[in-house]
Structure 1
Amino acid sequence: MNIDPLFTTEDPDELRSRALVLLAMHGTTWEQRHREQERHIQEQERRILTLEEALKTGRRWCFGKKSEAFQGERRQLVEEDVSADGADIEQQLAMLLPGAKDSPKRQPLPADLPREDIRLDLDTPVCPDCSHALRFLRDEISERLEYVPAHFIVHRTVRPQYSCPCCDTVHAALLPAQLIEKGQPGAGLLAQVVIAKACDHLPLYRQQKIYQRLGADIPRSTLGDWFGTVGAMLKPLADALQRDLLLQPVLQADETPLLLLNPDQGKSQKGYLWAYVSAAGAARNIRLYDCQPGRGGQYAQAILSGWAGTLVVDGYGGYRALFDRGDVQEAGCWAHVRRKFFDQYKANGSPVAEVALSAIRELYKLERLIRKRAPEQRRRWRQRYARPKVEVLQQWLLLKQQKTAPNSGIRRAIDYTLKRWASLLMYLGDGRVPIDNNRTENAIRPVAVGRKNWLFAGSLRAGQRMAAILSLLETAKANGLEPGVWLRDVLTRLPSWPNSQLDELLPYAGNRFG
């Protein structure tokens, strides 16, 4: 409070009146500040409550009961944004309430990643309080994960040349064999181009822009040449993969649309990518893809020509000719049956669908319990515990079939199930046969994501080349290998590798590709 006016007069009454005025002015200012502080606190409290509610909502979405409203890539994108929103909200709360943010419990960083030490030491190891010399105890280490941007390097092969004065000839060491003779790309760059397109779903024109930012201007046509050359070199390996697949007694199959461009007519046509996988627990974990211009059964017959065994499918009629041969048995998919009833339960809360879902759930509970058992043990458990439940379900479905309207949704679900009943029973008598075809659907999922970036295959040949490459890369992943590491190793070895030993390069042929 400024009291200078009090010293301009010595009159007690004047001093008293001036002091009262100053006190009144100070009181008004204090009340205003107090009210402003209260308003600020209330605003902060409202903002904190809003942020906390938003954080709780995000956590419920991430960790609470899952909804089937979002599927596949849509759900993944939503989850990414929910995670980012949670971090955003927590950071804002930490700024509003210092010390309120909990320290997250992080998993230790992978031990196989390279480490780069930055040592921070005291200038002088002397106690700042008493100037006594300090004694070393231990190193306190904190780790942060850092990213080093990708970069290009040029490998120069230097070969000293020697001349013979007697023979008048020049001698030098031979160049190692290259995948592209007299070409510039090394095996690592070729592997990167293929992995980026096939696994990371980056078309070549996008890769071209990325490489330009990194300092290498590679024409898109050149990238296309490289991709085609790698596809041709890997074709014998893909053929060997198909041969080994046909040695497995139980296979699973499915197909998904893939747009094919007809360069002659300048328009696209609907093609299909077929997927064939060995069953879980098979001697070899194989995923094989085949691109064809249609969905006719002749394409499956061509791939599985000469094969005999049990084929797990979703009921599509295109496989019927295979089963009519007599040497291929059909096994149905209980996941598709469940989906039919789930749709009805979700649409109108059908009590019939609810009972069917409960019965199917019991079958899956048993499968989870015996998943790691030997095939013969799985067969015995299925016969003892699952078969009685399945027989009861069949009798109940036959009863409900007579009591439901012919054109109703629940009737269609019942008809779908009973029509495929013989194939649905196949898994009970063979422990090698899975209860559903989800394994094949999972194998197709990367393709379904990738085609949103490719939009289409430029030709049938391009689709078949991509199918062969995907077969090898997805098989590598299925066998626990990093596909980029496996592909680089194979592309390094292929130019000088004997054809008689190609099988040794397949993803499941050893563990040197770790």
Structure 2
Amino acid sequence: MDISTLPVEQSPDELRQMAQWLLAELTREREKNQTLQQKIQSLEDALKTSRRWRFGRKSETFRGEERSLAEEDVDADTADLEQQLATLLPEESEKSPASPKRQPLPAEVPREEVRLDLDCHDCPECGHILRPLRDEVSERLEYIPARVVVHRTVRPHYSCPCCETVHAVPLPPQLIEKGQPGPGLLAQVTIAKACDHLPLYRQQKIYLRSGIDIPCSTLGGWFGAVGGALKPLADALRRDLRQQPVLQADETPLLLLNPEKGKSQKGYLWAYTSAAGSERNIVVYDCQPGRSGEYARAMLAGWQGTLVVDGYAGYRALFDEGGVKEAGCWAHVRRKFFEQYKASGSPVAAEALQTIRELYKLERRIKKRPPEQRRRWRQRYAKPRLAAFESWLRIKQQKTAPNSGIRKAIDYALKRWSALLAYLEDGRVPVDNNLTENRIRPVAVGRKNWLFAGSLRAGQRMADILSLLETAKSNGLEPGVWLRDVLTRLPSWPNSRLDELLPYASNPFSYSPGKQKAELT
């Protein structure tokens, strides 16, 4: 009903009818507004929850890649909710504060400039010629799919009319003689499988989308050739690892196929790293068919120093033989008390966590100090606190039930107490083994994609490749750029100079981070 069309003079029935219509229209608008307000409130509550998860305090509910995967969806949810609220409340979105300042795009990335200029430089108001004022520049990051090119090498041949000999420039040595892949393609296939966790059959489909059909067997042959070429470098990396005074070790399961039996078996990928602050940052993996301590003894044969490990008994033979000193991991101790605190709110666990928190506060303060200064600070501040903590733990040990969770956490700490105190005597020894656990995390993610290693040899080849690539990362190098450069040089490189190609930042052929970014583009 349109009010403007009603006559000026109306009867009581018409007025009553108009009042009923206005009341019904008002009710509909109120219901519509209420529904809209409920939707806005729901979106705002969801947005607050999303932001609280993303930026609020976090616990150990999720670890490592689990948290990263969860945060990806949280970020997407936040953007989705903000977009819906901007649609429902355009006025509020215009008044909202500006978004946080983002980091500038890297200067090494090539720029393609699009200039939006006026068609006419005459003022539309008065007709005078406009004068330049300023250029407003906005940048957006764009992605162009990777290009695959064919490099043709043309070698003119010449013959001598006198002696009938043929002359031509020799073909440069290649990693795969008479093969089609260049070093850049070999590096990409290797990086995609080892670092990006893409099995070869998935890579085959990716190349097929670009119109290039590379059989999976061919990709496997290329990957194997790269592994064989890099093995001398991996062996040199192991040799350098055994020259470091402080090492850290851990292990993770890796399923291995047994071609002879036609079934899988449980293998292990062992990880060894030089401690933070060492002369060289080195990561070495070792694939073995079991978890026996004999594999650790074989890897570290002849080495003497301090080894940081968790409570696994497989390393015990190393320490019993002498020459290797054991250092414990306070993160494992903290984790056991944390689990009890989250499960039952135990006040004993809470007090233990507070003491361990103080130890980590000290480590954060002295992190950048020289090793000898770290040792003195630990002796002065951490040692008395740990002496009191041990006495407190032994008292609580007598007052707790033998099979309770908190008793098991206390027993674990006291059983390894001498190893947990080892870091007090040497400033080079870290307080925990988190560095090695972080090096194992990419393997755990890749394992979900590879599912298994096709054989023990395949697992050892992957271990060699991962050792070099993860060492490159730990030294601030882009592994793809380093690998492409090494695969280009290796065919003609003398064996006596292999150490110059290792992925250390100090080596002459290691790219600086800025140069690597430019090389990638």
Give the Å deviation of 1:70: 2.3
Q: 1:361 to 1:163 in 2, by over 3 A?
A: same
Alignment check: 8 A CA contact 1:275 1:290 kept: yes
For 2:37, the equivalent position in structure 1 comes to: 45
1:156 corresponding residue in structure 2: 152
The equivalent of 1:195 in structure 2 is: 191
CA distance in 1, matches of 2:429, 2:340: 28
Pairing of 1:51-62 with structure 2 (within 5 A):
51-62=43-54
**Does 2:222 align with 1:226?**
yes
Distance, in Å, in 2 between the alignment partners of 1:298 and 1:2 is 94
Q: Deviations over 1:72-103 (max 9, x none)?
A: 33322221111111101100110111143344
Q: Which secondary structure does the structure 2 equivalent of 1:94 belong to?
A: helix
Further displaced range: 478-487 or 393-402: 393-402
Q: Post-superposition shift, 1:20?
A: 8.3
Residue 78 of structure 1 pairs with residue 77 of structure 2: no
SS in 1 for 2:237: helix
2:303 is the counterpart of 1:304: no
Q: Look up the match of 2:127.
A: 131
Deviation for aligned residue 1:340:
1.5
Matched residue SS, 1:100: helix
Once residues 280 and 6 of structure 2 are traced to their aligned partners in structure 1, the CA distance between those partners, rounded to angstroms, is: 98
User: What residue number does 1:292 align with?
Assistant: 288
Q: Is 2:398 aligned against 1:402?
A: yes
CA gap of 1:407–1:38, structure 2 versus 1, over 3 A, is closer
Tell me whether 20-29 or 171-180 shows the greater mean CA deviation: 20-29
Q: Among 232, 235, 245, which residue is 2:231 paired with?
A: 235
1:372 aligns with 2:368: yes
- Match of residue 61 from structure 2: 69
Contact 1:359 1:393 (8 Å CA) reproduced: yes
Q: Is the 8 A contact 1:278 1:286 kept in 2?
A: yes
Q: Flag the 1:484–1:41 CA change in 2: closer, same or farther, 3 A.
A: same
Residues 144-203 of structure 1: CA deviation (Å, up to 9, x unaligned): 111111221111112222222222233222211111111001111111110010000011
Identity of aligned residues (%): 71
Residue 339 of structure 1 deviates from its aligned partner by: 1.2
- In the alignment of these two chains, the number of paired residues is 505
Spell out the pairing of 1:319-358 with structure 2 (5 A cutoff).
319-358=315-354
Aligned partner of 2:110 among 108, 114, 137 = 114
Distance in 1 between the 2:85 and 2:16 partners? 39
1:104 aligns with 2:104: no
Contact preservation (8 Å) 1:150, 1:214: no
For 1:499 and 1:59, how far apart are their aligned partners in 2? 55
1:9 maps to none
> 2:83 aligns to what?
91
Please give the alpha-carbon distance, in whole angstroms, between the structure 1 residues aligned to 2:160 and 2:434.
Answer: 68
Q: CA deviation at 1:504?
A: 0.5
Q: Is 2:188–2:480's contact at 8 Å kept on the other side of the alignment?
A: yes
RMSD, aligned CA: 2.0
1:466-514 deviations in whole A, cap 9, x for unaligned? 0000000000000001111111111111111111111010111244363
Query: Partner residue of 1:180?
Result: 176
Provide the C-alpha distance between the structure 1 equivalents of 2:254 and 2:4, rounded to a whole number of angstroms. Answer: 87
- Tell me, yes or no, if structure 1 residue 252 matches structure 2 residue 251: no
How far 1:42 sits from its partner (Å)?
2.3
Aligned to 2:519: none
Taking structure 1 as reference, are residues 99 and 153 closer, same or farther at Cα in structure 2, changes over 3 Å only? farther
Rg (Cα) greater in structure: 1
* Superimposed CA distance per residue, residues 268-289 of structure 1 (whole angstroms, 9 cap, x where no aligned partner): 1000000000000000000000
Q: Deviations over 1:195-250 (max 9, x none)?
A: 01000001111111111112111100000000000000000000000000111000
One-letter amino acid of the structure 2 residue matched with residue 104 of structure 1 = S
Provide the C-alpha distance between the structure 1 equivalents of 2:480 and 2:233, rounded to a whole number of angstroms.
16
CA-to-aligned-CA distance 1:282-311 (integer Å, 9 cap, x gap): 000000000000001110011101111111
Equivalents in 2 of 1:356, 1:38: separation in Å?
57
Hey, what's the Cα distance between the residues in 2 that align with 1:96 and 1:465?
56
Q: Please tell me whether the aligned partners of residues 322 and 328 of structure 1 are also in contact (alpha carbons under 8 angstroms).
A: yes
Partner AA of 2:201 in structure 1: Y
AA at the equivalent of 2:54: C
1:262 Cα offset (Å): 0.7
- In the aligned structure 2, how far is the partner of 1:473 from the partner of 1:326? 32
- What TM-score, normalized by structure 2, do the two folds share? 0.93
